[in-house]
């Protein structure tokens, strides 16, 4: 008789962007070994055909009241929805993702399963652009939840893990990764880019304060003869006023790779990060990467070795000019080798399988 699979319930507050890609690869990579259910909240950036990305053995359950912002009434309703899901699934492991799901899952359900795992995907108390009081509140919530027994924080990178040591009892990290086989299949289908196409700098993600559209705009204004493309959409699109910026809106599924493939440089001026999937993909696609010197990015990029780390608009402009005017073969080669060695889903799934089976 076959051994019964452990049941894993993922609680995913924000089913979009890099978190969506992470969940797809982790769940699909482990569904041979575990019985997986995903309780998730919809977002503007969630692909309309999101179910098509998952193996049909994976159960998908929408939580109608998962919201990004603090909303006591909706948060209570989300908890009641999750309580019913936990009762129905009876999971052995609950794996929570992002701050809201992490707080509800760790505070409300630690006695309902063997262990509760939490992956922050970027700690909320590190956010800029919110008041100090709100950041302190987020940090207090993390400390309360992080002190719960049988709750383990699994950061998505080393620098996020180091930050987590200040707020949680048990912590480790498993670096984000990309599915290289899937990327290879996609890249094989993309058209060749003509030599006479306009030199293009691109980024990918929601147009939010975190992603620093103001700096993206300033860099574009300083380089008016270069085309800048933002793959995505968001509430701060009005900050992207430079005439050489084009905002695509949300590209469903793998369509984003069509646009990224035509780019010459990947730009990520974020104010903070977890460990960005878009950056890992750009490195694998052999795009020179110019990024901000912040948590998450610094886990991957070593300045002038496999990319460029920048602190000011001048440094970003100079790095992009260097990419345009000088061969970047060594940097591109080093970046892709780093992905192959350390930031791929084969490694990620192997390590998570060990954790789910009690190997922490």
Buried b (16+ CB within 10 A) or exposed e, 149-158: eebbbbbbbe
C-alpha 177/C-alpha 194 separation (Å) is: 30
Fold match, 6-177+344-356 / 184-342: yes
C-alpha 33/C-alpha 7 separation (Å) is: 10
Rounded to 5 degrees, φ, ψ at 149 are: -70, 155
Per residue in 222-268, pLDDT (tens digit) is 999 999 999 999 999 999 999 999 999 987 667 788 889 999 999 99
**Can you name the residues that pair with 303 across neighbouring β-strands?**
307
C-alpha 218/C-alpha 216 separation (Å) is: 6
The reported pLDDT for the residue numbered 252 is: 67
* CATH code 3.40.50.300 for 6-177+344-356: no
Using the predicted structure, report yes or no on whether residue 154 has a pLDDT greater than 90: yes
* CATH code 3.20.20.140 for 184-342: no
Per residue in 155-213, pLDDT (tens digit) is 999 988 988 888 887 889 999 999 999 999 999 988 887 778 899 999 999 999 999 99
C-alpha 233/C-alpha 244 separation (Å) is: 17
State the Cα angle at 297 between 171 and 257, rounded to 5°.
115
C-alpha 244/C-alpha 226 separation (Å) is: 7
Q: What is the mean pLDDT of the chain?
A: 92
Q: Is 224 helix (H, G, I), strand (E, B) or coil?
A: coil
| Ranges of each domain in the chain | 6-177+344-356, 184-342
* Chain CA centroid to CA 265, Å: 20
Give the strands of the sheet with 6-12, arranged side by side: 59-62, 34-40, 6-12, 93-97, 115-119, 151-155, 171-173
Using the predicted structure, report yes or no on whether residue 1 has a pLDDT greater than 60: no
The reported pLDDT for the residue numbered 44 is: 83
The reported pLDDT for the residue numbered 132 is: 84
C-alpha 141/C-alpha 237 separation (Å) is: 31
C-alpha 236/C-alpha 244 separation (Å) is: 17
Q: Among 19-28, 191-200, 350-359, which is the least confidently predicted range? A: 191-200
Query: Average pLDDT, stretch 35-55?
Result: 93
The reported pLDDT for the residue numbered 360 is: 62
The reported pLDDT for the residue numbered 2 is: 60
């Amino acid at each position: 008789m076959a051994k019964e699979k452990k049941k894993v319930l993922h609680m995913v507050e924000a089913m979009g962007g890099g978190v969506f890609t992470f969940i797809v690869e982790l769940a699909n990579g482990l569904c041979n070994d575990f019985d997986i259910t995903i309780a998730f909240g919809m977002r503007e950036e969630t692909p309309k055909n999101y179910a098509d990305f998952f193996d049909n053995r994976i159960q998908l359950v929408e939580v109608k009241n998962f919201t990004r912002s603090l909303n006591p009434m909706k948060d209570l309703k989300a908890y009641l929805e999750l309580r019913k899901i936990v009762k129905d699934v009876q999971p052995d492991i609950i794996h929570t993702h992002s701050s809201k799901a992490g707080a509800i899952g760790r505070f409300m359900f630690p006695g309902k399963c063997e262990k509760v795992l939490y992956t922050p995907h970027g700690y909320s108390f590190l956010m800029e652009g919110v008041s100090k009081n709100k950041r302190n509140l987020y940090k207090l919530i993390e400390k309360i939840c992080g002190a719960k027994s049988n709750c383990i924080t699994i950061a998505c990178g080393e620098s996020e893990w180091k930050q987590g040591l200040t707020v949680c009892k048990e912590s480790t990290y498993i670096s984000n990764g990309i599915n290289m086989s899937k990327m290879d299949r996609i890249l094989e289908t993309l058209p060749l880019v003509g030599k006479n196409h306009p030199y293009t700098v691109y980024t990918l993600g929601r147009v939010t304060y975190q992603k620093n559209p103001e700096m993206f705009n300033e860099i574009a204004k300083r380089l008016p003869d270069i085309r800048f493309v933002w793959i995505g959409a968001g509430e701060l699109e009005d900050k992207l006023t430079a005439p050489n910026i084009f905002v695509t809106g949300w590209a469903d599924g793998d369509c984003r790779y069509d646009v990224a493939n035509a780019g010459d440089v990947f730009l990520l001026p974020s104010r903070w990060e977890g460990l960005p999937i878009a950056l890992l993909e750009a490195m694998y696609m052999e795009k020179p990467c110019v990024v901000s010197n912040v948590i998450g990015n610094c886990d991957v990029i070593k300045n002038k070795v496999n990319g460029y780390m920048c602190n000011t608009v001048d440094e970003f402009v100079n790095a992009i000019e260097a990419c345009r005017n000088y061969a970047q073969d060594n940097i591109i080669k080093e970046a892709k080798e780093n992905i192959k060695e350390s930031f791929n889903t084969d490694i990620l799934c192997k390590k998570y399988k060990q954790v789910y089976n009690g190997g922490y």
